[in-house]
Chains A and B, each alone.
Chain A
Amino acid sequence: MARVVILGAGVSGHTAASFARRWLGPEHSVTVVSPKPTYNWIPSNIWVGIGLMPERKVVFDLAPIYAKAGIEFHQAAAVSIHPEGRAEDRSPFVTIESTEAATKGKTQDLRYDYLINATGPKLKFEATPGLGPHGGHSLSVCTESHATEAAKALDVCTERMRRGERQRFLIGTGHGSCTCQGAAFEYAVNLEFELRKRKVRDKAEIVWISNEYELGDFGMGGLHLKRGGYVTPSKIFTESLFAERGLEWITRAHVQEVQPGRAFYETLDGGQHQIDFDFAMLLPPFSGVPLKAFDRAGEDISDRLFAKNGFMKVDADYSGKPFEKWKASDWPRTYQSPAFDNVYAVGIAFAPPHAISQPRTSARGTSISPTPPRTGQPSAMIGKVVAGTIVDRIQGKSVAPRAASMAEMGAACVASAGANPFTGTAASMVVYPIVPDFERFPQTGRDTNLTYGEIGLAGHWIKILLHHMFLHKAKLRPGWQLVPE
């Protein structure tokens, strides 16, 4: 009997657990550890944060789904990994701490034969003083409860605008090293659409602030699309959408501090600025969830498993070569830890080997450039591939590990730009490969025959379809395995 333990029940961990359970016989166990009792379909948090969807539509309880599927579930946070076990018992284990009301704080050791770290990001609001909804002065849509709070604040602003007051909305990234600009972008354009619907748009000023060098970078160094006889950068399309919707923008910015109603920021040229706001939705930077690792003697070996930013090292090239020298082949393929071959990291939890967007430092020495994104589709695909590799190993198949390099896979992404079945729009994007490969595609790093984007109502319908399809899949309803990642 083999024990597969998965830390995290987000997009990547839940996918890995579901497929591992489906492919493995009942003599093997699949266990999921997650500090929250629920699954959150994060992409739809945008609509919760605009007030278009209640929180309950984007979350569901994991325990009954896992009970039905035969997956063991612990509502707990992983604290430490012990890949060598103890001196007296060499079985590897992970220490978890309960987050359930009745047993809160109680620790337990879970033995594993194969471990998947799918703990996603730590939302590092503390990197910027005053950032975030937990005691700070800005809002977020990273979790369902953050999004609900944002929707309530939006209602308050709407009331003020109805009374004739002007309101400034500051939307974007709350630190120079943020990723996930796509989510903030979606929030900004959805907000604009919603304010029009609420008939208060004329009282609102929406300002985008981000660490991107140019609009449309999205942490992927932007992308190029074939249009009208030109290969055009995403900057042009993003600027066009913002200009059309009357959104102002500030790029190359590192938010240094958020005070009530005021944000202080530095720009790449070394300039110091401040901007007043009535409503700020600023995403935090991400780091790895802080897990420790210990050897059998109890010595801390965290640096063998984790990079400095807390993400787990896998089969990537972490030699730290200059940005100009990196190659697509530096990106991981199997997501196996080089330190312990039965440990894997999937989704946001794995350490990317380097930035995709050109790293830049301000005149004052502050790093202001996006870190690489790992969106839902690659996260799920990687989760499935790693589950497959582990199942192959458990079943004793002498086959090569399954591979899913972000430099060899494409991603489809639909960014909502207004939710209405007849007048809504969304930007539908397809990018191939996610990580540019300048050896295969010297001009733009991507295949311009496959990389593609357009704005329209059809995109909004696709976004709705994805919401329902992915929740159907995540709830393991009949035929779930046929829904593509």
Chain B
Amino acid sequence: MEVSTQSEGKPPARDVWKASQSGKFATLPTGWTRFCRIFLPYQIWRFAMINLKMLRIIWKGHH
């Protein structure tokens, strides 16, 4: 099994060429997507929205 090289402490960079070699084509997030995932103001907003979505589903299960 091949192992991708990673630099210490950083997310490993799995290169697309290697992925295609093992027949595993995968969609990778862009830098912007990864930034948004931990960007505080946006995540505070997402926190509220996800909670609402979850409450909606719980409410639906009870009625």
Contacts and interface: CB of A to CB of B under 8 A. Distances in A.
A275 interface: yes
| 8 tightest Cβ-Cβ pairs between the two chains A and B | A246-B12, A243-B26, A410-B57, A409-B61, A458-B47, A458-B46, A412-B54, A239-B26
A392 to B, nearest CB: 16
Contact of A246 (B6, B51, B55, B62): B6
Contacts of A428: 50, 54
A236 interface: yes
Contacts of A243: 14, 19, 24, 26-28
B55 to A, nearest CB: 7
Contacts of B44: 458
Question: Binding site of A, secondary structure by majority: helix, strand, loop or mixed?
Answer: mixed
B26 A242 contact: yes
Interface string A216-260: 000000000000000000001101101111101100000000000
Given A430-B57, A432-B57, A452-B53, A245 B27 contact: no
Interface stretch (A66-74, A138-146, A201-209, A347-355): A201-209
A243 B37 CA distance: 17
Contacts of B62: 381
Scoring A166, A199, A248, A249 by chain B CB atoms within 10 A of each residue's CB, the highest score goes to A248
A298 to B, nearest CB: 42
A363 interface: no
Contacts of B54: 412, 428, 430, 462
A10 interface: no
Contacts of A412: 53-54, 57-58
Contacts of A207: 1
A454 B36 CA distance: 11
Interface string A407-435: 01111100000000011010010101000
Contacts of A423: 38
Contacts of A239: 24, 26-27
Contact of B3 (A205, A462, A485): A205
Contact of A244 (B11, B43, B61): B11
